[in-house]
Amino acid sequence: MMPQTSPPCSAPPLLEAFSSKVSELWPGGLPRRAVLAVSGGADSTALTLLAKECLPGWFEHLVVAHFNHHLREKEADSEANFVRGLAVRFEIPFVQGDWSPHDRHTYHRVDRNLQAAARKARYSFLLETAAIHKCPVLLTAHHARDQIETLLHNLARGGKSGAFAGIRPQIDREGIRVLRPLLWTFPEELRSFLEDRDQTFCEDSSNAHPKYRRNWIRNELLPKLSESYPSFEGDLLRRWSQFRDESLPNQTLFEKLKDLSLRRDSGWVIPLSGLRNLDTDKQVSCLRLFLRDVVKGQSPHGWDPIRQAPMEKLLELIKRGKEGVVNLPGGIRVELKGHGVTLRTGRG
């Protein structure tokens, strides 16, 4: 655990920005009870302090939830103890979940990768905690650089414009709304906020390991890009915000198309005519939203068909009105037959 030096940042504006984003993202009519996903790192520790300073002014009730993956032995236990102490000091209820990497062998093959399995287990715990404590909202500490790393990762995988969907500020998971109010805040601001409060935090040693692609993007690629193009991060974040604003009308189209479609336990049957009447960009957007819905129980961010080749094959079948099958990542099967397009998962 260590304090962090970083560029100065005025704490009150950060608190105001956080409160404003929470208010903007919070679903109307829901009680202001939230679970905080807290790892003990700088970002989630800042989230805890910010939320605490909004209690009871905005929040009615908070719960600190920590998930111990038991992947880094003593370091992981130290983090759990730190988060527990933080919750005790702030007089916020604390809940801990524990997991063994061996548990992943019972998962579907798509989820057996260590990182995917750990993420699946963590979100299952967080959503269950929210339900048990009657908190309709889960807050996570994803920040602006997490978003930038995700956008770069998506673009590198061939996502084209769809890659700009990025991490969504709000999603529904198993009846719980997951909010990410810090997506517009850079980690330097969060660490400066902690420094202003003389608040320590934990450093996850795995964040420096080069074998993880996100770490390489964060520690190697981004510094070089920012050195050559100082405005790169801000420009990319603005492009994401623009894409999000432009995508809002497509959400309306998706809702209308849903009303014309047939819901099945493992997916959807969409009328082919409803898709063929849309231009390509709107087809992609609506299909992406349907696919997110199909796998919402397995993926914390929703699923985006960012690999272009299978999507282009699917669009070509729709355009020509020909029957056929396209297999997409995540065990998704798309079949064009008769007058419908069937999307389903083998896990359904």
pLDDT tens digits, one per residue of 62-110: 999 999 987 777 888 999 999 999 999 999 999 999 987 765 555 555 4
Q: Give this prediction's pTM.
A: 0.79
**Each residue's pLDDT tens digit, 274-302:** 998 888 888 888 888 888 788 764 544 44
Higher-pLDDT residue of 245 and 330 is 245
Which CATH homologous superfamily contains domain 11-228? HUPs (3.40.50.620)
Which numeric CATH code is attached to 248-345? 3.30.465.60
Mean pLDDT of the chain: 85
Query: Average pLDDT for residues 134-146, to the nearest whole number?
Result: 97
Q: How far apart are CA 233 and CA 285, in angstroms?
A: 25
- Alpha-carbon gap, residue 163 to 165, rounded angstroms: 5
Q: Where are the domains of the chain?
A: 11-228, 248-345
Q: Which residues contact 79 (CB under 8 A, 6 or more apart)?
A: 39, 40, 66, 68, 202, 204
